[in-house]
A = this chain, B = another copy of it.
């Protein structure tokens, strides 16, 4: 109460506001900055320092420019982060048929594949981008997700799921099951990797450290056989198996509940 009222931040998405700079008309004098460069530098910085290490001032320094210059090209920090988010989503490779369903298939290698295979590919790509850019999860959780690349991705996901044989009214459920799972899985994986980097440990080392810590705590009363059963030689191997089988479960569920 003491500090009184507080502005509720409700700046709408970049994607719903007019571009700030008009497209360049003729050839003006050369300029150092532009949106593309700024977003690229943003992603570099985010990759290197994490979301909490990123600031407009730091970005400006990286670009060799004063703190306020960036604001010429971008309305707010939030808008800039939305641009980075969508750029990251653009790194996801999509199955060709999902993108252009009606295109003639001149390339025999590009022949339509099974929906399961396409689903697994999309899931794997999504997982990979989440791990490659550990800051992406938080942004996906914070902003509306309606940039062009995000839309293309979700359209592709829908297109794939429509081939599963599930009735129309179940498709969003199946999409939610699969992609929320991948999101959560990739988020955890990325966070763990970031912790490893920060602590200077390998994934296996940190994993065993955490295991030992947790096993000593009184609240941990679950049988270790489950922890051990998932085995595998390395943490990464264990995780891959876990991921693959979870997808298998989802796919099996879809196959079981579709009307044939």
Contact = CB atoms under 8 A, between A and B. Distances in A.
Nearest to A232: B169
A225 B168 contact: yes
Interface in A66-111: none
The copy count of this chain in the complex is 2
Interface residues of A, number: 80
B187 A176 contact: no
B257 A249 contact: yes
B257 A252 contact: yes
A33 interface: no
A250 B248 contact: no
Contacts of A112: none
A151 B219 contact: yes
Contacts of A141: 137-138, 141, 187, 191
Interface of A: 1-3, 6, 8-10, 15-16, 49, 52-53, 58, 61-62, 64, 137-138, 141-142, 144, 146, 148, 151-152, 155, 158-159, 162, 167-174, 176-177, 179-185, 187-188, 191, 195, 198-199, 210, 213-214, 217, 219-222, 225-226, 229-231, 241-243, 245-246, 248-257
